[in-house]
Amino acid sequence: MKRLCALFIGIILLTNIRIPMKVYAEPENNPLEITSDAAVLMEGSTGQIIYDKNKDEKLRPASVTKVMTLLLIFEAIDSGKIKLTDQVTISEHAASMGGSQVYLEPFETQDVNTLIKCISIASANDASVAMAEMLAGSEESFVAVMNERAKELGMLNTNFVNACGLDVDNHYTTAYDIALMSRELITKHPQISQYSTVWMDTFVHTTRKGQTEFGLTNTNKLIKQYNGITGLKTGSTGLAKYCLSATAKRNDMDMIAVILAAPSTKVRFSEAAKLLDYGFANCSIFKDKNEDLVVNPIPVKQGIADSVGYRAKDEFSYVCLKGTNPADIKKEITLAENIVAPITENFKVGEVTYTLNGKKIGTVDIVAAETVEKAKFKDYFNFAFKKFLL
């Protein structure tokens, strides 16, 4: 039996595959009444769902689409592909978008920083398409990247057709999928809040006709009303009705409230605030950095070193609802008995499993702390020679 268990652990470690899980905080007797067609409340650092209504229903997202557009922009900045100071020339296609816009003109140039402001504050369709063309060469190519990134994030019920959210056939997503991309944006690129929380700003159009100042006003009314607000994006069209991804941070928790197809703009803001209030009032966060992890090196076979150290790959976080005692959270450490070289740094060698009242609530990988190369003939010769000298 022991050999069978070791074999099973070995198979898991060799495949090194992790399957993403949807984690629910499972509130009891939830008092929330949401009239919008779909809604989700998620805690960002953990990805836990605290509340949902029709979370997987495919609906039109309107300009909430721009969360993905902004995510790809910030990823391009972080990778060094573009800089905030880079100049973007506005195409005739981008200038023709209509809807919410800042009236960019064909052949006008603006820097990336200004276009991010226009997208985040004023929900500018023309600025969104201009950035899409700058990053991918065409809006169509950019949309392909949007859909690929959506798949990587686990957005299984999403299909984008444009970069700005104008109503077109087959352009849809869900409240849950919006929460996923919002989480990726605010946790990996928190600088977005420097744009999405600005209430009013201006920028200058510079064209052949001269220079004119244009005012920007944020479409997210919660910016002026909600304590701890960090963003994020509104959206509305005749077919999508009124949509919102609202994010706020308090007490080390990033709450993400998604509202789709609200009957009015007043309802989308009031119901998003209701979701955020519920999250902050009823939740606290448990964190474990695994600083108590005792490192007894794992034996390595056929390596240039005979053992390898290890560490926890990530910090563990879990949202506790009222009535949950963090002291009831238990953890169990599982380690491979031995490993065969070669081993690369960060190769999975074990796992910390967390349970609450006997129910599994999450895991953290334990990974190799260094690389151990496979021993070659000369290494075995050196080992034998050193033993002979001893």
Pairing of strands 298-301, 339-340: parallel
Say how far apart CA 254 and CA 187 lie, in whole Å: 8
Regarding predicted confidence, which is higher, 371 or 13?
A: 371
Tokens representing 239? 């077919």
- Tokens 């993905």 map to which residue? 68
Give 370-382 pLDDT, tens digit per residue.
999 987 755 445 5
Q: pLDDT by residue (tens digit) across 100-110?
A: 999 999 999 99
Q: Mean pLDDT across the stretch 199-210?
A: 92
The yes-or-no verdict on residue 9 having pLDDT over 50 is: no
Task: Collect all residues with Cβ–Cβ distance below 8 Å to 176 and sequence separation of at least 6.
Answer: 22, 40, 49, 52, 55, 56, 157, 258
* HSE-CB for 303 with a 13 A CA cutoff: 19
Is the Cβ–Cβ distance between 185 and 258 less than 8 Å?
A: no
Residue 21 pLDDT grade (very low, low, confident, very high; cuts 50, 70, 90): very low
235 strand-pairing partners: 243
pLDDT of 4 reads 38
Q: What confidence score (pLDDT) does residue 323 get? A: 87
Q: Looking at the predicted structure, is the pLDDT value of residue 32 above 90?
A: no
Task: Please give the positions annotated as active site.
Answer: 63, 66, 123
Of 129-138, 144-153, 204-213, the range with the lowest mean pLDDT is 204-213
**Which pLDDT does position 147 carry in this prediction?**
98
Q: Six-digit token pair at 225?
A: 């009303």
Q: What is the 3-state secondary structure (H, E, C) of the chain?
A: CHHHHHHHHHHHHHHCCCCCCCCECCCCCCCCCCCCCEEEEEECCCCEEEEEECCCCCECCHHHHHHHHHHHHHHHHHCCCCCCCCEEECCHHHHCCCCCCCCCCCCCEEEHHHHHHHHHHHCCHHHHHHHHHHHHCCHHHHHHHHHHHHHHCCCCCCECCCCCCCCCCCCEECHHHHHHHHHHHHHHCHHHHHHHCCCEEEEEEEECCEEEEEEEECCCHHHHCCCCEEEEEEEEECCCEEEEEEEEEECCEEEEEEEEEECCHHHHHHHHHHHHHHHHHHEEEEEECCCCCCCCCEEEECECCCEECEEECCCEEEEEECCCCHHHEEEEEEECCCEECCECCCCEEEEEEEEECCEEEEEEEEEECCCECECCHHHHHHHHHHHHHC
What's the pTM?
0.84
Q: Which of 318, 335, 340 is nearest to 327 (CA)?
A: 318
Q: Among the listed ranges 5-9, 300-304, 318-322, which one has the minimum average pLDDT value?
A: 5-9
Q: What is the pairing mode between strands 307-308 and 298-301?
A: antiparallel
Question: Which one, of 22, 315, 17, lies nearest residue 153 by Cα?
Answer: 22
